[in-house]
């Protein structure tokens, strides 16, 4: 019995060792599979001569993912931080497939409202600049959930600034909005037009701008604030909804300055290239042309060749009748001009993308 017990114990010990060895091998293999070279922490945690490492907050979102794509094409190193509340993980996967090389792109799932997590991200990565896109961005929704908007936009921007200060990151490109102007009496809108926002979204963005400017006055930060207008481009839009047909405009619908997302991203890249220490640059990003929502709908129908169903609704709370930009300052100082100003052509590109990506980023 003693001999049998000894053999059983020996066999049991051998099995335990074998299982432990097998688990160790599996862990090593899993690390190799799920820790590809583009997320190697060493390459992202050190500054590299000739390489600019940009943190793109909200980089899984519509505009942020386009910005990340452009930065990667221009040989920047990119870290995307997104909580995926409005972003699309499929967009990140597409970028990872396009740029699998070591040290090009990494994605970090995190919420900017978590100061501890944000500070950890900054501590573990050597950022040279931040493009801050992450924000909720619906005017009507902001009137229903104002506190959420102030937390998400204003408070989270404060968290980012504190992390930048703590870790000596000196360049910020801030994604702002024409909603900070409210409804000016005179058009077009210039950078010196008084900022009198009329909804919580615009107010939260203006507060964030004020915080950034006040903070930059005490540091040698390079800051660029881009106030952009209505963005169009390649994304899925399930039908068209016209919110308000009784505005004091030519056809009763709102007038907006529609800018192609490709042009908008180009403005961000040029802003990054022109950012200077101890300077704050503030620029409107638009085409300078106002088009009504009805004109937009007609252009959609012509671009797609489809008699798109249009739903006419009441006015959206907190909205305004007319807004379009004067982009002369950004043209003069950053050599930026909108290239895609033909609304129908921009929408044709969007339609082509939509037809080849029927389920969003998951296919095509």
Question: Kind of pairing, strands 53-57 and 77-82?
Answer: parallel
d(CA 223, CA 161): 11
Q: Phi and psi for 132 in degrees, rounded to 5?
A: -100, 95
Largest Cα–Cα distance in the chain?
101
Tokens of 338: 């909108």
CA–CA separation, 62 and 230 (whole Å): 13
Does residue 138 carry a catalytic annotation? Answer: no
Catalytic residue among 149, 201, 247, 320: 201
Q: Judging by beta carbons within 10 Å of its beta carbon (0-12, 13-18, 19+), is residue 165 exposed, middle or buried?
A: middle
What does the chain come to in residues?
364
Catalytic residues: 201
């Amino acid at each position: 019995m003693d001999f049998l017990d000894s053999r059983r114990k020996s066999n049991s010990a051998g099995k335990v060792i074998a299982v432990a060895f097998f688990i160790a091998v599996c862990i090593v293999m899993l690390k190799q599979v799920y820790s590809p070279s583009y997320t190697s922490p060493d390459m992202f945690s050190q500054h590299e001569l000739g390489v600019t490492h940009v943190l793109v907050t909200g980089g899984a979102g519509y505009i942020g993912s386009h910005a990340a794509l452009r930065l990667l094409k221009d040989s920047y190193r990119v870290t995307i931080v997104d909580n995926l509340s409005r972003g699309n993980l499929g967009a990140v996967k597409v970028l990872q497939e396009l740029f699998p090389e070591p040290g090009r792109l990494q994605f970090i799932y995190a919420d900017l409202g978590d100061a501890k997590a944000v500070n950890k991200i900054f501590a573990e990565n050597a950022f040279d600049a931040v493009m801050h896109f992450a924000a909720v961005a619906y005017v009507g929704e902001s009137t229903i959930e104002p506190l959420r908007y102030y937390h998400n936009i204003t408070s989270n921007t404060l968290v980012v600034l504190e992390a930048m200060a703590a870790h000596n990151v000196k360049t910020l490109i801030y994604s702002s909005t024409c909603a900070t102007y409210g409804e000016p009496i005179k058009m077009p809108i210039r950078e010196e037009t008084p900022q009198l926002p009329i909804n919580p979204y615009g107010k939260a963005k203006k507060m964030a701008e004020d915080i950034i400017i006040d903070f930059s006055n005490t540091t040698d930060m390079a800051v660029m604030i881009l106030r952009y207008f209505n963005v169009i481009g390649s994304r899925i839009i399930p039908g068209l909804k016209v919110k308000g047909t009784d505005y004091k405009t030519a056809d009763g619908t709102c007038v907006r300055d529609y800018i192609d997302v490709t042009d908008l991203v180009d403005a961000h890249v040029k802003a990054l290239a022109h950012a200077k220490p101890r300077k704050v640059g503030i620029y409107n990003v638009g085409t300078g042309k106002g088009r009504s929502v009805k004109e937009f709908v007609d252009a959609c129908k012509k671009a797609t060749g489809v008699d798109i169903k249009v739903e006419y609704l009441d006015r959206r709370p907190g909205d305004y009748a007319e807004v379009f930009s004067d982009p002369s300052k950004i043209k003069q100082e950053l050599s930026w001009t909108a290239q895609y100003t033909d609304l129908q052509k921009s929408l044709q590109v969007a339609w082509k993308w939509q037809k080849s990506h029927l389920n969003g980023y998951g296919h095509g």
